[in-house]
Amino acid sequence: MRIPQWFVLAWVIFFSALGIVGAVFTYGFVRDRAAELDSVLELPDPPQVGRPSGGERAPTATPQPSAGDETPTPFGGVTPTPEEETSPETPAPVGAAGAAQPAAYAPWDDPRRVSVLLLGIDQRAGEQGTFPTDTIILFSLDPVGNTAAILSIPRDLWVEYPGLGRFGRINGANIVGDEISYPGGGGPAYAVRTVEKELGLKIQFYVLINFEVFTKLIDAIGPVEVCPPEPIHDDHYPDGSYGYITIHFDAGCQELDAERLLQYARTRHQDSDIGRAARQQEVILAVRKKILSTGGVTSLLPQAAALWESVQDNVRTNLTFENMVRLALRAEQIPSENIRQGQISFGEVYESTTEDGEQVLVPIASDIRLLIEDLFRPPDTPAAQAQ
């Protein structure tokens, strides 16, 4: 059956929303840190989001993964080196506008698990450079089990940068990857490699975004309902100009417009980054529900082409247009109750201080593996049946 073009565009936007919403979550760290320092941060040089830079980079050696750098996965096999990653499953990075639009698509039909790493950066209008990925969310789909998993990874996780023999926060991998011109996509590809090595997983795709398109998306689909379990009051919320405002949310379900939804997902002073991560996932699923609703999709259709064009300019991804559509068509078939949520938190990490006095989170590998195995378990396991 021939799929109408409006349907294709609508579901492309739905799948992109999983990554786009991550833009909300990146708004905090750099803004908060800058406000706390009461100074303007100097930002690195390009590349910019949306189009990998063609400019010169520092003459830094590119890490070449060795046999010892291969990462066994819980599901068999090893994570490939950059040279091995040039397969039909992992196409070379392209701008989201790069592919033509065939008349029809079939849903994703590969039975193997497929994972997408959503990377969010804080890049405001007029700013250029490469940025830390202060939101890192893994979205994984199991076509056979008809399940999906969402895993939030803390930005302060202390990891070894693959092939470099040095350590740093996981949110710095994007900067490092761009600096060394890492094969297969620079910063985002190196961030994927870093997460793969740390978690022991295979990740086929990445989507790196900034927050510019978030308000456009929410304005297009209309208010989104969230349900804070208790009141949220933050009198130290950054106003975007290195000052502060006070924000408040009552407990209970409520519909929020773009600005308020941004504040809801971004606030962290009342609780912590852990609480914010839970709100991030709530917003992702709330936006998904809104777009899947008949009214949301219908209201989006007249603006679909223009909105998709704006998304392209704020995305770096190795997903082709066709794969994005096919994954979106497959993702819509997963019931909400089959989407499992998790985050790497204090059950899987412990706090520590580096020699430079930085507060970081040190991973506990065995506990992280247990968390992932629980998120990725097949639907017919005893653990699933007990729910």
**Whole-number pLDDT of residue 294:** 61
285 within a domain of the structure (yes/no): no
320 within a domain of the structure (yes/no): yes
**Whole-number pLDDT of residue 211:** 74
186 within a domain of the structure (yes/no): yes
Which phi and psi (to 5°) does residue 164 adopt?
A: -110, -20
Structure tokens that stand for 35 in this block: 């406000």
163 within a domain of the structure (yes/no): yes
**Whole-number pLDDT of residue 300:** 61
Mean pLDDT for all residues in the chain: 74
Q: What is the CATH number of the domain that holds 339?
A: 3.40.630.190
User: What average pLDDT does this structure show over 254-268?
Assistant: 90
- 81-90, 117-126, 134-143, 334-343, range with the lowest pLDDT: 81-90
> Would you put residue 329 in left (φ > 0), alpha (ψ -120 to 50) or beta?
alpha
Instruction: With H, G, I as helix, E, B as strand and everything else as coil, classify residue 176.
Output: helix
252 within a domain of the structure (yes/no): no
E strands, 242-347, are 244-249, 254-256, 315-317, 339-343
Structure tokens that stand for 38 in this block: 């009461």
Contact between residue 139 and residue 204 where contact means Cβ atoms under 8 Å apart: no
> Hey, what amino acid is at 314?
N
Q: How confident is the model at residue 30 (pLDDT cuts 50, 70, 90)?
A: very low
Torsion angle of the four alpha carbons 241, 245, 251, 254, in this order, in degrees rounded to the nearest 10: -50
| 269 pLDDT above the threshold of 60 | yes
Specify which of 211-220, 273-282, 290-299 reaches the highest per-range mean pLDDT.
273-282
**Whole-number pLDDT of residue 371:** 96
The domain containing residue 90 runs over which residues?
Answer: 5-53+61-223+298-385
> Hey, what amino acid is at 296?
G
Q: Of 204, 372, 211, which Cα lies nearest the Cα of 283?
A: 211
DSSP letter (8 states) at residue 172: G
Question: Which residues, 6 or more positions from 28, have their beta carbon under 8 angstroms from its beta carbon?
Answer: 122, 134, 238, 266, 268, 276
The pLDDT > 70 percentage for the chain reads 66
Using one digit for the tens of pLDDT, what is the confidence trace for 124-171?
Answer: 666 788 999 988 999 999 999 999 999 999 999 999 999 999 999 999
**Whole-number pLDDT of residue 386:** 44
Instruction: Specify the number of domains making up the chain.
Output: 1
| 352 pLDDT above the threshold of 60 | yes
Q: How confident is the model at residue 34 (pLDDT cuts 50, 70, 90)?
A: very low
250 within a domain of the structure (yes/no): no
E strands, the chain, are 114-121, 133-142, 147-153, 158-161, 166-169, 205-209, 224-226, 232-238, 244-249, 254-256, 315-317, 339-343, 349-353, 359-363
| 100 pLDDT above the threshold of 70 | no
Q: Whole-angstrom Cα distance, residue 363 to residue 209?
A: 26
